[in-house]
A = this chain, B = another copy of it.
Amino acid sequence: MTDQAALAPFTTLLDMELGTLDPQREVTERRLDDLRGMFLEEPEAGDSLVYRVYAIPAPATGANLLCSTTVLEPGTAGREYYMTKGHFHQVRDRAEVYLGLAGEGRLVMATEDGRHAVEPIRRGTVSYVPGGWAHRSVNVGREPLVFFAAYVGDAGHDYGTVERTGFPVLIVAGDDGPEVVANPRYRR
Name A residues whose Cβ lies closer than 8 Å to a Cβ of B: 1-16, 21, 56, 58, 62-65, 67, 91-97, 99, 107, 109, 111-113, 115, 117, 119-120, 123-133, 148, 150-153
Q: Chain B nearest CB: distance from A119 CB in Å?
A: 5
A4 to B119, CA, bound (A): 18
Given the known inter-chain contacts A2-B93, A152-B65, please indicate yes or no for A12 contacting B126, CB distance below 8 A. yes
Task: Please tell me if the beta carbons of A131 and B63 are within 8 angstroms of each other in the complex.
Answer: yes
A133, B9: Cβ atoms closer than 8 Å: yes
Contact of A65 with B151 at beta-carbon distance under 8 Å, contacts A5-B133, A99-B99 already known: yes
> Are A7 and B131 in contact, CB atoms less than 8 angstroms apart?
yes
Extra 11 A-B pairs, beta carbons < 8 Å, given A9-B117, A9-B128, A99-B148: A4-B131, A8-B117, A9-B109, A10-B119, A10-B127, A13-B125, A15-B124, A62-B152, A67-B126, A97-B150, A152-B152
In the complex, chain B residues whose CB is within 8 Å of the CB of A150 = 65, 97, 150
Task: Give Cα A187–Cα B10 distance, bound, in whole angstroms.
Answer: 25
**Distance A42 CA – B164 CA, assembled complex (angstroms):** 63
B129 contacts A14, C-beta separation under 8 Å: no
Contact of A11 among B1, B115, B123, B128 (CB under 8 A): B128
Picked from B14, B65, B91, B95, the residue with its CB within 8 Å of the CB of A95 is: B65
Nearest Cβ in chain B — how far from A99, in angstroms?
7
Instruction: Show 17 residue pairs from A and B whose CB-CB distance is below 8 angstroms, ordered by the A residue.
Output: A1-B92, A1-B112, A1-B132, A2-B92, A3-B132, A4-B95, A4-B131, A4-B132, A5-B132, A9-B107, A11-B120, A11-B126, A11-B127, A14-B126, A21-B126, A64-B152, A65-B65
CB-CB under 8 A from A21, the residues of chain B are: 126
- Max chain B CB contacts within 10 Å: which of A9, A10, A21, A96? A9
